[in-house]
Amino acid sequence: MKTEFKIISDLIDKNSHVLDVGCGDGILMEFLIKEKKVNIRGIEISKAKVQNCIAKGLTIIEGNAEDDLRQFPNKSFDYVILSQTLQAFLNPEKVIDELLRIGKQAIVTIPNFGYWKIGLHLLFKGTMPVTKTLPDEWYNTANIHLCTIKDFFNFSRSKNFKLSKSIALKNDQPSFITSSNLNRKNFVSNLGIFLIKS
Amino acid sequence: MNIKDNIKTLTINKPLKLDCGKTINNFPLAYETYGSLNKDKNNAILVFHALTGDQFVAGINPVTNKDGWWSYAVGPGKSIDTEKYFVICANVIGGCMGSFGPSHQNPETKKIYGTDFPVITINDMVNAQVNLLDHFNIKKLFSVVGGSMGGMQVLQFVSNYPDKTKTAVPIACTSSHSAQNIAFNELGRQAIAADHKWQDGEYSSKNTIPNKGLAVARMAAHITYLSKKGLQEKFGRKLQERDDLKFGFDADFQIESYLRYQGSVFVDRFDANSYLYITRAMDYFDLVKQNHGNLSNAFKNTKAKFFIISFTSDWLYPTQENKDIVIALNAIGANVGFVEIKSDKGHDSFLLDVPDFLKALKNFLDQSYLEK
């Protein structure tokens, strides 16, 4: 199982009510059901992936998070998860606001565009970086709003969100992000995982 | 034709108070079953049919000798697997395949009811069919499934009997008949009424059938079941057994011939007055109004797991109307899944060989069946 999913699972209480936004093939959903006995729903835009989730017996709603989150009442989930999807939205700020409206807490993970290998790629090759977490070319990527760990950290501050947990992943090694180590973590980590409250 | 030999009928002795205010007693409900009920009686699926359907869901319909109307979806190893599930389907009241309907005789007047038959609703249909559960001694169904008007019955059933099913699958339907839906139904009814052979509904006693009117009603409705793209691809401007236009009003085009054929075969198996009654029931269906403007209230007492399916090219009951049901369920935290199936086959998609649909339905049912 991906380290990212294990960390997400550690952030979640047993038997809680969870929504996975952009749940893909439902791998995280299955993992959380097994590990935490959660009551979990997924939203996914790809018809093929929705079919895969149905085949696994997961409760899944085909839809687009930018339009379809509004149907959920305020605080109707204990956690709303957005795993490496934020950068694909037209309006990430609006989506985050919605996550925090419908969820008591939100877990957001982002591929870190501040990672040194990405900076180096851009600096020396002069082309848009292609990495394991960002595997597509600039002309066919869904990632239109990439950001860094530091960007997200500052964004949460400016929006007055409470960052309950900020975790950086460096080669699958987790560590906490604080205001004092922010610049370093932003440089050495490829993924950021944030547990936030409004 | 000895239809009655092939029709199983349950006589409902419990009085049923209809929405119109009248009460019906000792009336017949025709049904068919497929597969077998297990020892725990927890594998039963009640299938609801659409406007022109009947109880013969799968296999060969013994009355028409054609495939059952949902043969693609129901049968051994299929989406609704009759090797696994006990499938029950009843002809709706108001129908014409054995259940109490306008072609029956009024015991008081000894005359065929015709338009003296009480106007029935989707609610009445469901309240009649719930008696089948007692008949088979089933406390809780595994699922209620239906498309189009069948889907409306699914919604009404769960609303009326929130504890009587574990899962619910409304397909290509709506919670409230739209003005466009009513308009098309009215067109069909007026086509029947315009046929002089309809005789204000008393055609049976005059040994005639308003076959022209009923055929036109079917032709118009049939167009609404297909998509523009589907029609264009299947027929385009292809000519019917001729090399050129004939400058007359015969069926020059294949689409004309096809519609005429659909109309003509329909009158052999369907009763014109039933068509009036059932379309009226659909038009009266408004689960939103029943719940004082809040659809969520219809489902607030149920723990049933819902799975809602729509089709991209269905313009009769479009995705948005199906999604409104999803939204109402999510608003109360109900367990609901939703998928929109890509298909060019229009509203009829749910009756046809649409692999993504059949796969989703099968997976939902089989996976839910595994859950406690």
Q: Could you list the residue range(s) of the whole structural domain that residue A54 is in?
A: 3-197
Cβ separation B367–A56 shorter than 8 A: yes
In degrees to the nearest 10, what's the CA dihedral of B115, B116, B121, B126?
-120
> Mean of the per-residue pLDDT values for chain A?
95
pLDDT bracket for residue B214 (50, 70, 90): very high
Instruction: Kindly report, residue by residue over B154-205, the tens digit of the pLDDT.
Output: 999 999 999 999 999 999 999 999 999 999 999 999 999 999 999 999 999 9
**Are B39 and B51 contained in the same domain?**
yes
**Are B171 and B208 contained in the same domain?**
no
pLDDT at A127 over 60: yes
Q: Which of residues 62-91 of A touch B (CB under 8 A)?
A: 62-63, 71-73, 76
**Are B21 and B34 contained in the same domain?**
yes
**Are B145 and B21 contained in the same domain?**
yes
Cα–Cα dist B136/A1, whole Å:
47
**Are B195 and B215 contained in the same domain?**
yes
Residue of A57, A63, A76 with shortest CB distance to B333: A76
Q: Could you list the residue range(s) of the whole structural domain that residue B190 is in?
A: 181-279
> Sign of the CA dihedral B221, B224, B230, B236?
positive
**Are B77 and B157 contained in the same domain?**
yes
Smallest CA–CA separation between A43 and chain B, in Å? 9
**Are B66 and B171 contained in the same domain?**
yes
Residue of B335, B340, B363 with shortest CB distance to A59: B335
Instruction: Kindly report, residue by residue over B252-308, the tens digit of the pLDDT.
Output: 999 999 999 999 999 999 999 999 999 999 999 999 999 999 999 999 999 999 999
**Domains contained in chain B, number:** 2
B252 catalytically annotated: no
B314 catalytically annotated: yes
Give the pairing of strands B165-171 and B16-17.
unpaired
**Are B186 and B233 contained in the same domain?**
yes
Instruction: Kindly report, residue by residue over B215-235, the tens digit of the pLDDT.
Output: 999 999 999 999 999 999 999
Instruction: Please name the residues in contact with A81: beta carbons below 8 A apart, sequence gap of 6 or more.
Output: A8, A18, A19, A20, A21, A28, A106, A107, A108
Q: What's the CATH code of the domain at A105?
A: 3.40.50.150
**Are B263 and B316 contained in the same domain?**
no
Cβ separation B326–A73 shorter than 8 A: no
**Are B218 and B163 contained in the same domain?**
no
Domain boundary among B224, B257, B279: B279
pLDDT bracket for residue A135 (50, 70, 90): confident
**Are B148 and B23 contained in the same domain?**
yes
Identify any residues that bridge with A110 across adjacent strands, giving them in sequence order. A192
Task: Say yes or no: B327 contacts chain A, CB-CB below 8 A.
Answer: yes
pTM of the model: 0.95
Q: What's the CATH code of the domain at B265?
A: 1.10.1740.110
Catalytic residue among B71, B79, B148, B343: B148
Amino acid B166: pLDDT? 98
Cβ-in-10-Å burial (0-12, 13-18, 19+) of A135 comes to: exposed
**Are B188 and B262 contained in the same domain?**
yes
Task: Say yes or no: B370 contacts chain A, CB-CB below 8 A.
Answer: yes
**Domains contained in chain A, number:** 1
Domain boundary among B252, B279, B306: B279
Amino acid B159: pLDDT? 98
Cβ separation A59–B360 shorter than 8 A: no
Nearest to A181 by CA among A139, A141, A153, A147: A153
The end-to-end CA distance of chain B, in Å, is 46
Evaluate whether ipTM surpasses 0.90. Answer: yes
Cα–Cα dist A53/B353, whole Å:
22
Token pair, residue A31, equals: 């993992």
Question: Could you tell me which chain B residue has the CA closest to the CA of A55?
Answer: B363
**Residue B118 gets which letter from DSSP?**
P
Domain boundary among B245, B279, B313: B279
Assign B266 to helix, strand or coil.
helix
Nearest to A60 by CA among A44, A78, A75: A44
